[in-house]
Amino acid sequence: MIEIGFHTDAFNSSYWNFEKCLQWAQANDVHYIECGTIDGVSWLHGLGYQPHVALHEDPIALRKKMDGYGVKFSQLDAAYPISLPDAPSLGTQYIINTIRWGYLAGCTHIDTTDHMYKPEGQTHEEALEMMKRVYGEVLDVAVHYDMIINIEPHGYYTTKPDFMAQMLDFFDTPLLRMNMDTGNTFIAGQDPVAFCNRFKDRISHVHVKDVSETLAASLRGELTGIAVSNTAIGDGVNVDNIKACFDILVDINYDGVVSIECEGQGGPMIEKSLAWVRELVDDANRRMDA
C-alpha cells in the first residue's frame, strides 16, 4: 500500500518548528513525516525557527510526542554530500549518528546523496571508491539496526543512471536502496520515468516533486536537484512523468511512502499539492488492490 508523507523542508521559508509540522500533519490527515537531522546545535533550531530535529533531542520522548499526533517518520535526511573530500570524516559519522538516533525514534530509512559538483582533483574512479568506503562503514552500522540506507538522485553522480547503478551495487545487501525523486531527475536533464523504471526494484522511498515551466526552461540540465517544488505539484511541467512513475509503482506493488516535497507557503501550496497527490495515491492503491 502506498502511504503519503511530506518533508518538513516545505516549511523552511515559514520558519516553523518541528512540532508545528506535526500539527499540520495531524490537521491534514497525513501520518508520515520526513525531516533533516542536525548533529550539533543550530541557533535557528534552538530559537524554534527550523522544522528539523537535532540529535541532542531525546528520540524516545520525540517518538512518544509523534505518537500523540498520529505521525511516524518515513525517513530521516542525513544527506551530507558524501562525494566531498571531508565526507569520510564528517559525513560518515553524521550518517551513523543519525542511524542510531533514528532507530530509537522509530525510523527505518535514512536518506543520503552526493554533491552537485564533481570533486576537484579526483577521477571518477577515485570519487566512487571514496564513496564506497563511506557506504561500507555506514552499512556496517546499519545492519545492527536493520536500517535501510537510501541513495537519492540529487548530485553530480547520483543523477546519472550509470553512476547510480554502480553505487547501488557497491555492496550486495538489501539495506542499500534508492530514494526516487521525480523532480531532481527531471531538473538534472534525465527522464524521470526511465530512471524510475531502471531502478524500480531498488526503490524504498519516493520524493514527489513537480517543476515550474519557467524553472525548467531556464535551468533544466544545469542543476542536479531542487530542494522542493517551486510550484504546486500538479501545476508544473513534470505532471505526466509523475503519473507515469506512479504507474511503475503500481506495477511493482510498491509498499511504502511517497513524500511530498513542495514549498508550503505556510500551508496553501503544499495543501493544494496534497490534494493532487492524494488522488494519485488513491487511484494507485485501487489498482493494486484490483
Confidence band, pLDDT 50/70/90 cuts, at residue 232: very high
Whole-number Å distance between alpha carbons of 82 and 95: 10
Whole-number Å distance between alpha carbons of 91 and 93: 6
Instruction: Report the run of H or E that residue 32 belongs to, with start and end.
Output: strand 32-38
Phi, psi of 38 (to 5 degrees): -115, 115
Helix (H, G, I), strand (E, B), or coil: what is residue 150? strand
Length of the chain (residues): 290
Residue with grid cell 555506514, as numbered in its chain? 138
| Residue 270: closest CA among 216, 223, 233, 225 | 233
**pTM for this model (two decimals):** 0.97
Dihedral sign for Cα atoms in the order 35, 184, 187, 235: negative
Contacts (Cβ under 8 Å, ≥6 apart) of 245: 180, 182, 192, 193, 196, 206
Contacts (Cβ under 8 Å, ≥6 apart) of 60: 104, 105
Confidence band, pLDDT 50/70/90 cuts, at residue 187: very high
pLDDT tens per residue across span 148-176: 999 999 999 999 999 999 999 999 999 99
**Domain containing residue 28: CATH number:** 3.20.20.150
Check: CB of residue 227 under 8 Å from CB of residue 7: no
CA neighbours closer than 13 Å in the CB half-sphere of residue 184: 29
For the chain, the first-to-last Cα distance in angstroms comes to 12
Confidence band, pLDDT 50/70/90 cuts, at residue 3: very high
pLDDT tens per residue across span 46-83: 999 999 999 999 999 999 999 999 999 999 999 999 99
Query: What is the total count of domains within the chain?
Result: 1
For strand 72-77 and strand 53-54, is the pairing parallel, antiparallel, or unpaired?
Answer: unpaired
pLDDT at residue 115 in the model: 98
Domain extent at residue 36: 2-289
